[in-house]
Amino acid sequence: MQALQQGDASAQAQLEAIYAAKEATMDSLRQADPLLAKVFLPLMWRPFDPNQPGPYEDALAHFAGEYLKGEDLQDPAYDYVPSLSDNMPAFIQIVFRPGVPALRSEAALDDFLQRLRPQSRAHKNALASAVSTLDQMQQLSFVKYAEAYRDLYGPLSEQVGNYLEGRLAYYADQAQAEARLALGAVAPEIALPTPEGNTLRLSSLRGKVVLVDFWASWCGPCRRENPNVVRVYQRYKDQGFEILGVSLDRSREPWLKAIADDGLSWKHVSDLRFWQSEAAKTYNIASIPATVLLDREGRILAKNLRGAALEAKLAEIFGG
């Protein structure tokens, strides 16, 4: 143990020596060529050390606080430093990483952009890079910064204007879809053919707790999950639990065979349109298995529960 501790201390000392050497090099470069120093500065920040957090609560706070710390980004010279905008994708990917609340990520980006000279080339390029990266990451925060870019730097070229307006329309549709599928919202209607050829509506199941189960005969993970679903269905079906299996199959025969082979004795529907299924599009299904659990009024209780999580939720609802 003592040897390990000594090894850790030695490694830490070596890191400190490296950082000190980098800082000394940057100090010299600032004196010799200030503009060239600015090119390398975006790469000069220390990774977060949880053992020595300093004034920062976590890695995000550390990065936001240390990135170009102490540098005067109002300097007009930054208009001619492409590395500032070139490094924005890395900045965005760290600040908007999964699990970080959007408001916190946006606050970090706002703080950085406010350090840049308003209406400057540096600000315009950094904001444009942020907008592009947020779009690539499919972040809804794209809307805030795309609108800011449009308002600050319009009128825009036809190409840029068309891109922004098209993407803003897309994210508006996404936001509406998320609202439609939010917890507590009434689940959108599903009206599809049963194996017998009749049309079954999801709304006809009101009064029961319903699991809408998106699956397919060709989906290995779905088939492996089916025994768990069968078990909970048998346990709670007499207490007001129902399942609506929505298949993304393309052919009738394998769909019906999988129902029989896996003993899926609940209700089933499919339009046999694969990923173009109307229900899959309505519910923004991008992968299966996928589930939506509804209360007796048809409101969304939970999403993508399976295995132990599904069992626990049903036990909570039905009491054991």
Percentage of the chain surpassing pLDDT 90?
Answer: 66
When mean pLDDT is compared across 85-89, 146-150, 290-294, 296-300, the lowest value belongs to 85-89
Residues ≥6 apart with Cβ < 8 Å to 53: 62
Query: What does the pLDDT average to over 1-11?
Result: 54
For the segment 157-181, the average pLDDT, to the nearest whole number, is 91
Residues 234-253: tens digit of each pLDDT: 999 999 999 999 999 999 99
Structure tokens at 197: 């050829």
Chain segment 59-90, per-residue pLDDT in tens: 888 888 888 877 888 989 889 888 888 889 98
- 120 contacts 81 by C-beta, under 8 angstroms: no
pLDDT digits (tens, 9 = 90+) for 131-150: 999 999 989 999 999 999 99
Q: For the CA atoms of 83, 84, 90, 94, what is the dihedral angle to 10 degrees?
A: 160
User: Strand locations in the chain, DSSP E?
Assistant: 191-193, 199-201, 209-215, 241-247, 267-269, 290-294, 300-303
How many CB atoms lie under 10 A from the CB of residue 63?
19
Token code pair at residue 62: 């550390």
Which among 209, 195, 197 is positioned nearest to 254, based on CA atoms?
195
CB hemisphere CA count around 262 (13 angstroms):
26
Could you read off the pLDDT of 188-201 as tens digits, one per residue?
Answer: 999 999 999 999 99
Structure tokens at 148: 């800011």
82 half-sphere exposure, CB direction, 13 A CA radius: 0
Q: Can you read off the two tokens belonging to residue 247?
A: 């298949």
CA-nearest of 106, 109, 110 to 91 is 109
Going from the C-alpha of 316 to that of each of 48, 53, 110, 236, 313, the distances in angstroms are 41, 40, 42, 12, 5
- As a whole number of angstroms, the distance between CA 214 and CA 304 comes to 10
Which top CATH class is 191-318? alpha beta
Q: Closest by alpha carbon to 15, among 57, 48, 43, 58?
A: 48
pLDDT at 320: 65
Q: What's the chain's average pLDDT?
A: 89
User: At 315, is the pLDDT very low, low, confident or very high (cuts 50, 70, 90)?
Assistant: very high
What residue ranges do the domains of the chain occupy?
A: 33-180, 191-318
pLDDT band of 3, cuts 50, 70, 90: very low
- Tokens 């609108």 correspond to 147
